[in-house]
């Protein structure tokens, strides 16, 4: 792409700066917004090194979402911490750290290094932004990439940073070349590029899918995309060119005279039958309706030809591994668990063609179910031969673009999609009726649960519903009017929080607002997703709060009250671990005016500047009208616990003083918004009617933003309001009489650091995880419930109970937690029963049945968030033996070894009561 030069060059190679930094910022921000409003396939984006782009952002003060969350936070804090520092103008655009020279393609050009991460290694900018940056700074190299759309039903736009690299083997000399195309390019375009590269006529060549260095199928010239042809990154293809006078490429013979497994130009549908059913040919089968495959793309490409197999051989050992196609271990782990689920094995090894639902708008036209069924039968009939799930991966990318590409994903998220997708593809309900849900309105639970399940079955009826779906009871309670809403909802799996993710320890300091005791820190354990009411209750129990007392929670920041936490339903997630939270013990009653006493001391080093220190004291004022003398009394009372033991004796030696509130009440000059006062000489004159012997504190009345300060006199009238803020000035004399250390060193809510010795976390049981899942908790502020009685959205409390459990019960252990600035994985060891897991007492419906389960599969995750690895354990029921499935590698494993802290998703199958009584049944203790 050629861009006109804007004129002269600077010493660093960039063009003359046409605009100041803030103007560059404005132009780029405007172009970014414009591009977001005009997203369409084919738009160009440019890859830029994040190292260079970060320098430019700091230069112009530009902080948008192009940064990773962690880096954005770090840079923002850095910028805020030193606003006066202006970053230097960056030099020319430098992409050298993300590019590498490649000789594999037709042209020796720079290309992007593999395995780079967006946001940390590079950023993507629209074409117009790149043109502006290049105009201002020059440099490069330019790395344009196209925006493509993926998915069938739900379109998703992605910039194709890494196009497909296809390895071309020339059958004439076995030479290897590389061509790079978009996954949305057609096979016709592939032929054109390869023929141009090899300088051969297109009509004389044939290109083969050469996956695993084996001829799989001929890639015939068509408009089929490379993605739909299941060609992947670093895929091998074979170029066959007949020698002069050799017509073997079109006569069914290769250059060595061997027979070729040629595929017709318009290939017929696979003659592989669905196990136990009639052979399908050209989309029709005896005894089945012709519409089964009409309108779908179930061509021969939907039948994986990578490994030929015959299901009639009966070699169904279930010990075949799955080839890793590039960070697909998450998919392999999930698939191995599903293909070893006994009801699914039995179902897909039989004829299920009549249950394929191609009309369901919520499904995948039956293609996902067919691809999964083909893969399952292959795994159960190929002996120990490793299977490459290429076709299944292609279908997955087609219908779930979030799983496209070759990045690592979550096996549980894939399982959720597969179970839901298989259900919709196999849904026996062709036309879903509209059903209006009714409220419980105090009806018996049995009646409401039966009605809800009946309504669910009227729209959802499949193998997945038969064996994998249960029902739980959900109870919502409005915190305002007390309205109770009960619903019974289906579930496919249970996501269990780990107790360490359910609770959090919080340290708060409690102050006595009546001066009856010293401040004391308390550490309590509360629900992580609880609210301030839970924190107040726990703290009240810890500090033995009296029945006529209440706690006022507040956050202290820079020695001032930053905010009051007076909303009992405010989520605890709003309180960060590094914050300082205090609680003030107040008398219950009608809300009164708050008195905030903020401490200051004279900094003689900085020329008499008064600086804040310590923790503010807070109490409630009951007097009306309110005078300065009342303020003095409250201050005297709240400071009394801090008085040193010798202060009373010392005060008798000195002249007795009252509070020195001398002054005319005039407004004083302010300094640094802290109402800094000039040092004052404390009078020692004796005050009439005062016998407390207290030091001469200076009290200054201030406003919310400390814009003005006024000396307080005994007879000065204090204007009432929600909060009265007073500065209390300390001198050396007051520090001698009072121990201010109780006001300093406020502990953080939760202290973490490298000095804390990390201890091994105790094991927790699966039952404790289940109980945490069933614990009542308030809804989050982003998940408000519309109360039909209040006619408002409320932060209701929610309680879940198990009502109906399925034959196949899946537990997802929530090891991963995500937030804007933090990603974390818990390696907590969860002790789960392998045999005879008894959940009968957890099921609320009293149907007299026994709910006992045996474990048969586990999806494991090892390592951290970025470079983790997934494997699976699965039990062959017929052999009563466990195996370890690690991509292509399959090996036996002892039952005693399958429990580990890597266990991520657990698969249980319900057993009969008689079977469960053969050994000890595990129940909650």
Q: Round to whole Å and give the CA distance between 838 and 572.
A: 34
Measured between alpha carbons, how far is 115 from 122 in angstroms, rounded to an integer?
A: 11
Distance separating alpha carbons of residues 356 and 339, to the nearest angstrom: 18
621-626 LR contacts (CB < 8 Å, sep 24+): 621/592, 621/593, 621/594, 621/595, 621/724, 622/592, 624/720, 625/717, 625/718, 625/720, 626/593, 626/717, 626/718, 626/720, 626/724
Contacts of 31 (CB under 8 A, 6+ apart): 126, 128, 129, 132
Element housing 896 (H / E)? none
Q: Are 432 and 461 in contact (CB under 8 A)?
A: no
329 is catalytic: yes
For 437, residues 6+ apart whose C-beta sits below 8 A from its C-beta are 452, 455, 487
Residue 795 token pair = 């932060």
Closest of 893, 42, 721, 845 to residue 445, by C-alpha: 845
Residue 707 makes CB contacts below 8 A (sequence gap 6+) with 670, 673
Q: What kind and span of H or E run contains 270? A: none
Q: Tell me if 862 sits within 8 A of 919, measured CB to CB.
A: no
Q: What is the DSSP string of 447-467?
A: HHHHHHHHHHHHH--SHHHHH
Token pair for residue 395? Answer: 């279908």
Of these residues, 456, 735, 750, 869, which one is catalytic? 869
End-to-end CA distance of the chain: 71
SS3 call for 164: strand
For residue 87, the tally of other CB atoms under 10 A from its CB is 15
Contact (CB, 8 A) for 712 and 737: no
State both tokens at 179. 């061509």
Signed CA dihedral, 907, 912, 917, 919: sign only: negative
* CA–CA gap between residue 583 and residue 519 (Å, rounded): 10
Query: Would you list the DSSP string of 802-862?
Result: EEE--SEEEEEEE-EEE-SS-EEE----EE--SS-EE-GGGB-S------EEEEEEEEEEE
Distance CA 118, CA 136 (A): 24
Q: Tell me which of 165, 329, 620, 769 is the catalytic residue.
A: 329
| 456 is annotated as an active-site residue | no
What is the C-alpha separation between 808 and 806, in angstroms, rounded? 5
Active-site residues: which are they? Answer: 329, 869
């Amino acid at each position: 792409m050629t861009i006109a030069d804007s004129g002269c060059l600077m010493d660093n190679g960039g063009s003359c700066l046409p605009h100041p930094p803030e103007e560059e910022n404005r132009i780029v921000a405007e172009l970014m917004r414009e591009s977001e409003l005009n997203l369409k396939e084919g738009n160009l984006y440019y890859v830029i090194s994040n190292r260079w782009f970060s320098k430019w952002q700091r230069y112009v003060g530009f902080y948008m979402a192009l940064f990773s969350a962690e880096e954005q936070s770090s840079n923002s804090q850095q910028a805020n911490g030193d606003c006066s520092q202006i970053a230097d103008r960056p030099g020319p655009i430098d992409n050298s750290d993300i590019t590498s020279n490649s000789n594999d393609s037709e042209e020796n050009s720079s290309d992007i290094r593999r395995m780079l991460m967006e946001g940390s290694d590079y950023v993507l900018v629209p074409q117009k932004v790149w043109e502006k940056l290049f105009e201002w700074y020059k440099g490069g190299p330019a790395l344009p990439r196209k925006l493509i759309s993926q998915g069938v039903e739900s379109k998703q736009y992605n910039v194709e940073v890494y196009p497909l690299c296809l390895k071309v083997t020339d059958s004439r000399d076995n030479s290897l070349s590389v061509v790079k195309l978009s996954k949305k390019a057609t096979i016709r375009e592939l032929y054109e590029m390869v023929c141009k590269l090899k300088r051969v006529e297109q009509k004389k060549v044939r290109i083969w899918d050469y996956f695993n260095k084996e001829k799989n199928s001929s890639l015939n010239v068509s408009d089929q995309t490379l993605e739909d042809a299941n060609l992947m990154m670093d895929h091998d293809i074979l170029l066959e060119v007949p020698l002069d006078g050799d017509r073997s490429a079109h006569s069914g013979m290769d250059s060595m005279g061997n027979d070729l497994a040629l595929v017709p130009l318009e290939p017929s549908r696979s003659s592989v039958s669905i196990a136990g059913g009639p052979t399908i040919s050209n989309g029709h089968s005896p005894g089945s309706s012709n519409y089964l495959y009409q309108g779908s793309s179930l061509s021969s490409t939907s039948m994986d030809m990578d490994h030929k197999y015959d299901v009639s051989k009966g070699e169904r050992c279930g010990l075949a591994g799955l080839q890793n196609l590039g960070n697909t271990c998450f998919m392999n782990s999930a698939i191995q668990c599903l293909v070893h689920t006994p009801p699914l094995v039995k179902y897909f090894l039989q004829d299920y063609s009549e249950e394929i639902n191609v009309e369901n708008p919520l499904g995948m036209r039956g293609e996902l179910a067919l691809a999964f069924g083909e893969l399952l039968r292959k795994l159960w009939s190929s002996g120990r031969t490793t299977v490459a799930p290429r076709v299944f991966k292609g279908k997955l990318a087609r219908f779930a673009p979030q799983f496209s590409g070759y990045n690592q994903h979550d096996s549980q998220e894939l399982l959720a999609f597969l179970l839901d997708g298989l259900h919709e593809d196999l849904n026996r309900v062709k036309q879903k009726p509209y059903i209006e849900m009714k409220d419980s309105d105090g009806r018996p639970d049995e009646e409401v649960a039966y009605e809800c399940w009946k309504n669910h079955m009227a729209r959802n009826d499949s193998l997945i519903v038969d064996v994998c779906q249960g029902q739980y009871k959900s109870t919502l309670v409005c915190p305002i009017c007390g309205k109770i809403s009960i619903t019974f909802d289906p579930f496919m799996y249970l996501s269990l929080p780990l107790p360490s993710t359910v609770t959090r320890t919080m340290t708060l300091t409690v102050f006595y607002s009546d001066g009856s005791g010293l401040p004391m820190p308390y550490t309590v354990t509360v629900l992580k997703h609880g609210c301030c009411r839970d924190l107040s209750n726990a703290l009240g129990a810890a500090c033995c709060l009296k029945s006529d007392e209440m706690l006022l929670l507040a956050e202290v920041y820079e020695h001032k009250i930053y905010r009051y936490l007076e909303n009992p339903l405010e989520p605890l997630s709003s309180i960060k671990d590094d914050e300082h939270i205090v609680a003030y013990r107040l008398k219950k009653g009608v809300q009164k005016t708050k008195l905030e006493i903020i401490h200051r001391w004279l900094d003689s080093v900085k020329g008499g500047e008064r600086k804040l220190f310590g923790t503010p004291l807070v109490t409630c004022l009951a007097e009306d009208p309110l005078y300065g003398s009342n303020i003095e009394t409250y201050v005297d009372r709240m400071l009394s616990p801090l008085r040193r033991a010798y202060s009373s004796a010392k005060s008798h030696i000195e002249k007795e003083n009252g509070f020195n509130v001398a002054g005319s009440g005039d407004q004083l000059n302010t300094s640094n918004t802290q109402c800094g006062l000039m040092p004052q000489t404390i009078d020692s004159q004796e005050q009439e009617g005062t016998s407390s012997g207290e030091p001469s504190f200076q009290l200054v009345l201030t406003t919310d933003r400390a814009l003005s300060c006024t000396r307080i006199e005994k007879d000065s009238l204090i204007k009432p309001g929600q909060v009265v803020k007073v500065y209390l000035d300390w001198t050396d004399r007051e520090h001698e009489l009072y121990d201010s250390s109780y006001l300093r060193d406020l502990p953080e809510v939760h202290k973490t650091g490298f000095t804390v010795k990390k201890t091994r976390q105790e094991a927790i049981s699966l039952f404790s995880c289940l109980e945490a899942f069933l614990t009542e908790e308030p809804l989050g502020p982003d998940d408000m419930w519309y109360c039909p009685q209040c006619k408002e959205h409320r932060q209701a409390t929610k309680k879940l109970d198990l009502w109906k459990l399925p034959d196949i019960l899946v537990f997802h252990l929530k090891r991963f937690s995500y937030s804007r600035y933090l990603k974390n994985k818990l390696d907590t060891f969860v002790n789960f029963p392998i045999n005879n897991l008894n959940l009968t007492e957890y099921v609320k419906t009293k149907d007299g049945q026994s709910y006992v389960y045996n474990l048969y599969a586990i999806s494991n995750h090892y390592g951290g968030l970025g470079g983790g690895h997934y494997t699976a354990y699965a039990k062959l029921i017929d052999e009563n033996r466990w195996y370890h499935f690690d991509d292509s590698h399959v090996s036996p494993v002892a039952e005693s070894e399958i429990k580990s802290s890597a266990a991520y998703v657990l698969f249980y199958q319900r057993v009969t009561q008689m079977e469960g009584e053969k050994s000890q049944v595990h129940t909650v203790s």
